Amino acid sequence: MIGLVLVSHSAALADGVRALIKQMTQERVPIAVAGGVDDPDNPIGTDVIKVAEAISAVYSPDGVIVLMDLGSAVLSAETALELVDTEWLPHIHLSAAPFVEGALSAAVQASVGSPLEQVLAAARGGLAAKQQHLTPSAAPTAIPMPASVPALHLTVPVPNRLGLHARPAARLVSLVGQYAAEVTLRKGEREASARQINAVALLDVRQGDELEFTAQGTDARAVLDAIQQLAKDNFGDRDVEAPHPVITVQAKRPVAVLAGVSAAPGLAVGQIYLLDDTRPDLPTGRSADPAGEQVRLTDALSSARVELDVLSRRSEAGAIFQAQSLMLRDEDLLRAAQDQIKQQQCSAEYAWWHAIEALAARYRDTGNAVLRWRSADIFDVGRRVLRQLAPETAAAIHVPAGSILAAPDLSPSEAAQLNRDEVRGIVTQHGGATSHMAIIARGLALPAVVGLGTAYSMLTSGQTVIVDGDKGWILPHPTAEQIAAACRTIEQQRLEQRRQRAVGQQLAITPDGRRIEVAANIGSAADAVSVAEAGADGVGVFRTELLFMSHTLPPSEAEQVQAYTTAAENVHGGSVIIRTLDVGGDKPIAYLKLPREDNPFLGYRGIRCWLERPELAETQLRAICRVSAQHPLKVMFPMVGTLEEVQTARELVRAVQTQLTREAIPFDPQMEVGIMIEVPSAALLADVLADHVDFFSLGTNDLTQYLMAADRGNAHVNALVSPFQPALLRTIQQVVRAAHARGKWVGVCGEMAGDPRLTRVLLGLGVDELSMNAPAIPAVKTIIRETDYTAAQAVAAHVLTLPTAAQVEAYLDGQSA
Amino acid sequence: MITAQHIRAWLERSAQTFAAQKGYLSDLDSPIGDADHGTNMARGFAKVVEKLPPAANNADSSTLLKGASMTLMATVGGASGPLYGTFFLRASAAVAGKSELDGADLHALLTAGIEGVVQRGRAEPGDKTMIDALLPAAQALKTSLDQGADLVAALDACVHAAEAGMQATIPLQARKGRASYLGERSIGHQDPGATSVYFLLAALCDAVKG
């Protein structure tokens, strides 16, 4: 059920609104209030912590809508979002709706089980009934007008400094959209419909221009009054256009640093390459079915609009996406593309991009700097629609060597295809540090700064810049000394990396001759490059979730073959363990249509869910088996808790192999099949399960949480989730013994595998493989190469006698000091 | 070097300052705001001190700043709650894991805090807000450090710049917050938020000097 949170300066007001709602909805909607502050002398105010608690009290993935009165209530609600679980953020919506009317409308709509979009719309429209009652003409209802209604006129000067650029134009178009009257605006000889964002923007209206509005319809007077009000309000602009907080400089001086958000660390020097206007590789092909192409285009546009509407609500740059969404509602643009499809019998992609280029050219030709910048937005929306039409064509990116790639935004699939020989760094206008693109950039070891905001428009192709991915900013006009200094730093870092890598490339063999496989955990095929450079002997876990999450449909067998092959090639002959898809109700993979669960951590996830989706499971296993013919691949199943699950999974592997044999497709019949040990039942059954698999991999992150019955995301109990817990270490020992007694090997792939303080213990416990994030590899290999196995066994034996995590930690800290 | 003891002293001195300047700040706030800035800040910082972990806990700077952030968010009440709360939250993250702060760390602390305030309040320089004292203060700190000044001298420069920034808000027209409702009538009044920034930085400087 959707929950409501009421934030008010006054506890009495919040409680009163709650009482009103309860009376109207018979308590069907969860409501939490955050009203006032806990100071009896001055109770009026807002409390961020209360807001965060209220959100937690009614949160569910169905959504939470937060309504606020004003001023600090809004700031407190925004701040509260910094305190809640980041995975919740997509489901929490701060509504600008009027506090009382919005809350009532939202509650009534939610109580009948409406989807979130409708509830949000109901909140926003909360004032409609009252408006219609008091001033019927202002209500946004369309009433057919007799042709004889005379047109009304309004002339206003444009007060704001930048004229009607995209955001004020979007405000005007949105405003007019609320009325039924037909409104046009005229600047000199040129006239445009006030309903068309591009038409309005292309009038190139500047400060001081006189605009003549003409409105015809029953509510013409009301719309002109509203327009006059908007003009008085400077068209909504605040005329100090310091585009983004630039901390190190005063406003209006030449900008020395463009500040964004650090997404991947490192320093890079290179020339900006703007991705905005590069032409994607398009199928120019004719189409025999123009009507079908027209439908495809209409569908793609509506999907893109939905994406943009979602982005505009979630993102700080919401206004930009809103303006982009309006561009996609521009009938002239759509008509241009549809006409071309019809007249030239061409593909939807071709016609669409042609229309986008033509529109962008018109923006660029206006001679207005602000409008020229908008052409980046045009290309951005153009690409968004292209991605809907043909995901593969919009993704291929090639840039000159030594470039800093600059783009409004990069999709994960685009980022994953970047070539490190060409790209030295990434800069984007939108996006945040937690986006998939950022994860991929870190995997590729490409310095990245995202979220430059409007400062992005100051970049031009070919300009030499310094990207500082650690600090999250770029120097747009570095001096020769700054460039030289940056290059020195980069060179020093490269030397240090090379030294580390030299350590990493050596085998991890103890002085008394025991070899440990030191492998890396990866999330995409591209990660494998940096992993190999860090010295990984192979890949201990290829988490395939990202592969499945970055698509709107499950990846095909061919795509998966490609991904697994690339990963194997990138580790140069090392073995690669592919973990089958590990998702559950907490991961947003829309096409899986997984049920929402109260407790996904204990729910329908991992192998439990995967085995019940044979089409998904078979496709993934076929891809893995096919790649096993050429590369040393292993397969591993997550979240196993019973023998039956292992047997079912093995039968499925056999069935897929039988099918491949029948199709004469080669595979490796000896491919090792293993399971993750992360559910305590699997650890206790290790002797039984070992007879049915080739290896175990201890997923110690989840195993510790399940053993300790504690969630590491819960601040009250997360201290229990420690790799030093004696219960965990004993479990590892038992699993290793059970496996070794049956000739099977055991790896560890949780965070503890990369923690140098624990390397000796794991070595001494007899673990055969350690799989970790790449940066930890050199340190762990160094310890193994310096520690006798017999000495490690002594350490492990002693640690197993210690009864508390604190004692284990203290002892190991003493050992490594 | 700035230690956790200095940070603790900073918070304590801030509480003393705001208790003493409560009336002055609220007076500044009365022609252009809700006349509650002084009361709110005094209440918030009194609670911060009340909730400081015992000295024997050896809490580090980051922990102390984070605790202050949470308390301010919960107790200040007005817009300064989320704004100063965010300032200290980001500041805390910027110095996480450091046992001692040098000049560069302090600059990072301030810069992170300022970024938080800018992001939260969406104010720009010249809007007659806290930002008008914070930005020049951070800039002055950095300039002095770059010129080789020691920490105390750099902090002095920082406080002077905050004071100048505070005074420079007098001729400005407010464009954010409650004061912006007054339009041109906000001109001629010193911004209470910029003033509390000055007090806060002066308390830091005093705490470091000991």
Give the pLDDT confidence of A519-533 residue by residue, as tens digits. 999 987 777 777 888
A692 is catalytic: no
E strand intervals along A574-712: 576-579, 633-637, 673-677, 695-698
Which is nearest to A180 in space by CA: A212, A220, A151? A220
Rounded distance between C-alpha atoms, residue A101 and residue B11, angstroms: 42
Answer whether residue A277 shows pLDDT above 60.
no
| Of residues A239 and A667, more confidently modeled | A667
User: How far is C-alpha A647 from the chain's CA centre?
Assistant: 36
Cβ partners under 8 Å of residue B52, min gap 6: B8, B11, B12, B64, B67
Answer whether residue A450 shows pLDDT above 50.
yes
A709 Cβ under 8 Å from any chain B Cβ: no
Answer whether residue A155 shows pLDDT above 90.
no
Answer whether residue A444 shows pLDDT above 60.
yes
Inter-CA distances, A50 with A59, A494, B73, B119, Å: 14, 48, 9, 21
Name the pLDDT band for A126 (thresholds 50, 70, 90): confident
Q: Do B75 and A37 contact (CB within 8 A), yes or no? A: yes
- Among the listed residues A93, A436, A609, A625, the single catalytic one is A436
Burial of A701 (0-12, 13-18, 19+ CB in 10 A): middle
A676 Cβ under 8 Å from any chain B Cβ: no
Structure tokens, A612: 């019940």
Which is nearest to A124 in space by CA: A111, A142, A140? A140
Does B77 sit within 8 Å of A44, measured CB to CB?
A: yes
| Of residues A384 and A376, more confidently modeled | A384
Structure tokens, B6: 């200095």
Answer whether residue A363 shows pLDDT above 80.
no
Cβ partners under 8 Å of residue A157, min gap 6: A208, A209, A210, A211, A231
**Which uninterrupted H or E stretch holds A779?**
helix A777-786
Inter-CA distances, B15 with A615, B48, B208, Å: 64, 8, 16
Which three-class secondary structure state does DSSP give residue A267?
strand
Give the pLDDT confidence of A648-684 residue by residue, as tens digits. 999 999 999 999 999 999 999 999 999 999 999 999 9
Give the pLDDT confidence of B119-134 residue by residue, as tens digits. 888 888 998 999 999 9
pLDDT at A193: 83
Cβ partners under 8 Å of residue A146, min gap 6: none
Does A245 sit within 8 Å of B118, measured CB to CB?
A: yes
**Which uninterrupted H or E stretch holds A746?**
strand A745-748
Structure tokens, A565: 């092959």
**N-to-C CA span, chain A:** 53
Q: Do B176 and B122 contact (CB within 8 A), yes or no? A: yes
Rounded distance between C-alpha atoms, residue A178 and residue A139, angstroms: 8
Structure tokens, A282: 């398009």
Rounded distance between C-alpha atoms, residue A352 and residue A338, angstroms: 8
State the average pLDDT over residues A479-487: 89
Answer whether residue A460 shows pLDDT above 70.
yes
Structure tokens, A698: 């201890």
Residue A598 CB neighbours (<10 A): 9
The letter for the amino acid at A233 is: D
Least confident of A96-100, A576-580, B80-84: A96-100
Answer whether residue B143 shows pLDDT above 60.
yes
Rounded distance between C-alpha atoms, residue A203 and residue A196, angstroms: 11
Q: How far is B77 from chain A (nearest CA, A)?
A: 4
Answer whether residue B44 shows pLDDT above 60.
yes
The letter for the amino acid at B38 is: G
Structure tokens, B194: 């910029």
Question: Interface pTM (ipTM) of the complex?
Answer: 0.81
Rounded distance between C-alpha atoms, residue B129 and residue B87, angstroms: 14
Answer whether residue A139 shows pLDDT above 70.
no
Give the pLDDT confidence of A207-218 residue by residue, as tens digits. 888 888 988 887
State the average pLDDT over residues A488-516: 86
- Closest-approach residue (CA) in chain A for B71: A49
Does A46 sit within 8 Å of B77, measured CB to CB?
A: yes
Q: Look up the pTM and report it.
A: 0.44
A48 Cβ under 8 Å from any chain B Cβ: yes
State the average pLDDT over residues A357-362: 84
- Closest-approach residue (CA) in chain B for A39: B75
Most confident of the following: A105-109, A379-383, A726-730, A782-786: A726-730
Percent of chain B at pLDDT above 70? 100
- Which among A7, A8, A9, A39 is the top mutation candidate for probing chain B, defined by the most B β-carbons within 10 Å of its own β-carbon? A39
Does B43 sit within 8 Å of A247, measured CB to CB?
A: no
Percent of chain A at pLDDT above 70? 87
Answer whether residue A248 shows pLDDT above 60.
no
The letter for the amino acid at A766 is: G
Does A79 sit within 8 Å of B120, measured CB to CB?
A: yes
A715 Cβ under 8 Å from any chain B Cβ: no
Does A240 sit within 8 Å of B82, measured CB to CB?
A: no
Rounded distance between C-alpha atoms, residue B96 and residue A215, angstroms: 59
Burial of A324 (0-12, 13-18, 19+ CB in 10 A): buried
DSSP, res A817: -
Which is nearest to B6 in space by CA: B176, B208, B209? B208
- Closest-approach residue (CA) in chain A for B177: A71
- Closest-approach residue (CA) in chain B for A83: B70
Give the pLDDT confidence of A314-334 residue by residue, as tens digits. 544 466 677 778 888 888 888
Rounded distance between C-alpha atoms, residue A536 and residue A631, angstroms: 16
Q: How far is B14 from chain A (nearest CA, A)?
A: 20
Q: Do A370 and A165 contact (CB within 8 A), yes or no? A: yes
State the average pLDDT over residues A2-23: 90
Cβ partners under 8 Å of residue A612, min gap 6: none
Answer whether residue A398 shows pLDDT above 60.
yes
Name the pLDDT band for A246 (thresholds 50, 70, 90): very low
Contacts of B51 in chain A (CB under 8 A): none
Give the pLDDT confidence of A73-118 residue by residue, as tens digits. 998 998 898 888 888 888 899 998 999 988 988 888 887 777 888 7
Most confident of the following: A81-85, A390-394, B63-67: B63-67
A749 is catalytic: yes
